[in-house]
Amino acid sequence: MSYQGVWTLAEANDGEIKIVSYELLTRGRELADKLRCELASVLICGRIDEKDAEELILRGADRVYLVSSPELEHFVVGSYSNILIDLIERYRPEVILSAATTTGRTLMPHAAVKIKAGLTADCTELDIEEGTGNLLQTRPAIGGNIMATIKTPECRPQMATVRPKSTRPAPRNENRRGRGEIIRIELAPALLDRRVERIGFRKNPGEDINIQGADVVVSGGRGLGKKENFALIRKMAELLHGVVGASRETVDRGWISYPHQVGLSGKTVTPKLYIAVGISGAIQHLAGMKTADIIVAINKDPDAPIFRVADFGIIGDFLEVVPQINQSLAKEGERSEV
């Protein structure tokens, strides 16, 4: 039997489907249309309401393979990988996309190894090669210094993780109601890896650390001068409905915690808007934010390299500039609420 169809791996947390699942459907729909094949989503999770799973159909999936069980509440790669491989062997998709989240980046290599599939990490562009129908996977590498296009000519399925926020979520289309099928797959207990036990969970004290899931990231660097000045950054982030990022310098100094770090040894973010305040723009920092849609830099040094990648730059002291911006944004906010 040959391999056919495009799959996206949806993710859910606490019974709620994560937005990145819909971003994958945007990618998947494009590829499925080019290949003239079906688009399916696989959802492995603890629990989900039928109507929430249907959301995947409204947003583009022709089928949903749903494996839900209380025993799958928390991601354990051994179990998820066994389930995914079982589904792949049964239904043989040609392409599998997952988000480049901590889950996707753990699950995909684990599964790919076992079935000898090619896997490309953290893609920002996907296409189909004319003639061969091979998946063309493009990704930044070496700190964003190069863009590499990769394909898997012989092995199937072709697997790729896709950078979160690198595309828009597929919109809901009410006309698609009833146009897809949810296929519930009974969990075979033998597929569970019971060796790994989740014994605790804690939130990052204080604030949202999912900087990869945010539309707006406002980051502070060593130029802030001291820890307390992150309050100005937090305020701006809040006014723009965004989250706080940071350069490594500030994390190493203990001004802010590691989950906020953007860059080579931190997280890679692709928000709509990235604002760098008091950040010089070292190559290792750029590696983590260069693919943002819009980059804004606020720095007092006109020669700071960050200005070379900025769409809008303000040369000035952040202590003067940021409070003024915050004030104007606050006014803007009041106006829009009326």
Partner 1 sequence: MKIIIPIKQVPETSNVKIDEETGTIVREGVESIVNPLDLYAIEAGIQLKEERGAEITVVSMGPPSAEKALKEAIAMGCDDGILISGKEFAGSDTWATSYTISRAVKKLGKFDLILTGERATDGETGQVGPGIASFLDLPVSTYTSRIVEVTEVSIVVERLIEEGYEMLRMPLPALVSVVKEICFPRLPTLRGKQKAKKTELARWNADNMDIERSALGLNGSPTRVVKIETPKVTRSGEVVRVTDEESLADAVERFLTFLRKKGIL
- Interface residues with ligand FAD (CB under 6 A) are 221-223, 247-250, 261-266, 278-280, 282, 284-285, 288, 299-301, 304, 317-319
SS3 244: strand
Nearest CB to partner 1, comparing residues 1 and 199: 199
Nearest CB to ligand FAD, comparing residues 46 and 143: 143
Q: x/- string (CB under 8 A) for partner 1, residues 20-59? A: ----------------------------------------
End-to-end CA gap in the chain: 61
Task: Choose, by CB under 8 A, the member of 49, 210, 301, 330 that binds partner 1.
Answer: 210
Task: Choose, by CB under 8 A, the member of 16, 33, 148, 181 that binds partner 1.
Answer: 148
Question: Which of partner 1, ligand FAD, none has residue 263 at its interface (CB below 5 to 8 Å by kind)?
Answer: ligand FAD
Number of residues that bind partner 1 (CB under 8 A): 95
Instruction: Answer whether 28's CB lies under 8 Å from 64's CB.
Output: no
Spatial distance between the Cα atoms of 132 and 191, rounded to a whole number of angstroms: 35
Name the minimum Å distance from CB 96 to partner 1: 13
Question: Which of ligand FAD, partner 1, none has residue 221 at its interface (CB below 5 to 8 Å by kind)?
Answer: ligand FAD
β-bridge partners, 218:
244, 275
Instruction: Answer whether 87's CB lies under 8 Å from 81's CB.
Output: no
Name the minimum Å distance from CB 62 to partner 1: 27
How far is the CA of 101 from the CAs of 111, 112, 115, 229, in angstroms? 15, 16, 21, 30
Q: Residues 92 to 111: which contact partner 1 by CB under 8 A?
A: 101-103, 105-111
Spatial distance between the Cα atoms of 180 and 25, rounded to a whole number of angstroms: 14
Spatial distance between the Cα atoms of 194 and 237, rounded to a whole number of angstroms: 41
Residue 150: count other Cβ atoms within 10 Å of its Cβ. Answer: 17
From the list 32-40, 45-53, 180-188, 322-330, the region that binds partner 1 by CB under 8 A is 322-330
DSSP 29-47: HHHHHHHT--EEEEEEES-
Task: State yes or no: residue 10 binds partner 1 (CB under 8 A).
Answer: no
Task: State yes or no: residue 190 binds partner 1 (CB under 8 A).
Answer: no
Nearest CB to partner 1, comparing residues 4 and 138: 138
